[in-house]
Amino acid sequence: MEKIIGIGNALTDILAVLKDDTLLESMELPKGSTQFIEKEKLSDIHSIFSSMDTKRVPGGSAANTVRALANMGSHTGFIGKVGHDETGDFYLNSFHSLGIETLFNYSELPSGIASTFISPDGERTFIDYLGAASTLDCKDISEEILSGYSYMYVEGYLVQNHEMITHALQLAKKNGLTVCLDLSSYNIVAADQDFFTDLIKNYVDIVFANEEEAKAFTDKDGREALDDIASKCSIAVLKVGAKGSYIKKGSEVVYVEALANVKTADTTAAGDYYAAGFLFGLTHGYNLAKCGAIGSLLAGNVIEVIGSTLSDARWDSIKEQIKELS
């Protein structure tokens, strides 16, 4: 079985469900966006969360994808950075329990935390303190670490460190890995559009994007955005929420429906799980339609729960449903 290595920000999610979006408006937080803060602001966020019911789960975009793949039996690894603290221990244990090869280094900064506000419609808004995760750099990624892997999955949040992400993708291509990139957040893409373009043209084989991210990257909508992205890589995946997804490879375009009858509780990790399902399909030699269908299956399941962790029973059900897909 082909092995998949992920690289991304090692963040523990602290989740809070909102009754309405008043708090987001008062904090001037664009709904659905990702904002980054320094350590000095972390205490302010802690104060806000202290009066709310919260849930702690391991998070991080690429990490969510890797853990989902591991739950389905794929051979996976993850490159990240945590601090010498209880949050870091909690995070690492979430990988060890799934048998994921942990290629972590430690930082003197505290472990990263993603404070997540979940709106009534399930949309999530992040305030991220990267902490130790932000110190991931070129020396943490070597050819030796990549040995034995066939795919590298990278989250777009890492483009804040141009040198590091370029180094990682160069090594991946040099060693024959298929490089997959999720655009991650529309505001991050919009702020660094030219760099994303160069990165994808030069190193990326598979791009995952939702509608807002695709618009920020291409300045186009819908199928035009899909066509634009596909012209720069081997496979482009455009996720259109409850309407499903479009996949384009060369001249082939496949439409995949979203999972039906889903009761949305939290859209956190929906895209991450879609990517996990899609890559699971690719590494098993399935066609694009089935890869997308598995992606939709996983995404549809994770949005029915708060956070990015599914029960063993739900995973068992997912595996049975995958067997039944034509």
User: Hey, how many other C-beta atoms are within 10 angstroms of the C-beta on 187?
Assistant: 16
pLDDT at 44: 85
The CATH number of whichever domain residue 151 belongs to comes to: 3.40.1190.20
Residue 135 placed within a domain: yes
Q: Helix (H, G, I), strand (E, B), or coil: what is residue 96?
A: helix
Among 146, 222, 232, CA closest to 194: 232
pLDDT at 71: 97
Residue 169 placed within a domain: yes
One-letter identity of residue 274: Y
Among 150, 117, 112, 102, CA closest to 132: 112
Among 282, 234, 307, CA closest to 74: 282
User: Hey, how many other C-beta atoms are within 10 angstroms of the C-beta on 261?
Assistant: 5
Q: Which domain holds residue 252?
A: 4-9+59-110+131-324
Contact 80, 7 (CB under 8 A): yes
Q: How many Cα neighbours within 13 Å face the side chain of 58?
A: 25
Residue 21 placed within a domain: no
Q: Which residues pair with 208 in a beta bridge?
A: 182, 237
pLDDT at 43: 84
Residue 157 placed within a domain: yes
User: What tens-digit pLDDT sequence spans the chain (326 residues)?
Assistant: 799 999 999 999 999 999 999 999 988 889 988 888 888 888 888 888 888 999 899 999 999 999 999 999 999 999 999 999 999 999 999 999 999 999 999 999 999 999 999 999 988 898 989 999 999 999 999 999 999 999 999 999 998 899 999 999 999 999 999 999 999 888 899 999 999 999 999 999 999 999 999 999 999 999 999 999 999 999 999 999 999 999 999 999 999 999 999 999 888 899 999 999 999 999 999 999 999 999 999 999 999 998 889 999 999 999 999 999 86
The 10 Å CB-count burial string (b at 16+, else e) for 65-100 is bbbbbbbbebbbbbbbbbbeeebbeebbebbeeeeb
The 10 Å CB-count burial string (b at 16+, else e) for 242-259 is eebbbbbeeeebbebebb
Residue 293 placed within a domain: yes
Q: Helix (H, G, I), strand (E, B), or coil: what is residue 86?
A: helix
User: Hey, how many other C-beta atoms are within 10 angstroms of the C-beta on 174?
Assistant: 10
Domain count for the chain? 1
Outline where the chain has alpha helix (H).
Answer: 22-26, 39-50, 61-71, 86-96, 143-146, 162-174, 186-191, 193-203, 211-218, 222-230, 270-283, 288-302, 312-324
Residue 31 placed within a domain: no
Give 190-198 contacts, CB < 8 A, sequence gap 24+: 190/216, 192/159, 192/160, 193/217, 195/159, 195/162, 196/156, 196/159, 197/232
pLDDT at 106: 96
Residue 149 placed within a domain: yes
CA distance 248 to 177: 20
Q: Helix (H, G, I), strand (E, B), or coil: what is residue 137?
A: coil
Task: Tell me the CA end-to-end span of the chain in Å, nearest whole number.
Answer: 21
Among 319, 252, 233, 268, CA closest to 16: 268
Question: CB-based burial of residue 138 (10 Å sphere; 0-12 exposed, 13-18 middle, 19+ buried)?
Answer: middle
Which residue, chain included where needed, has tokens 């505290």?
Answer: 110
Residue 122 placed within a domain: no
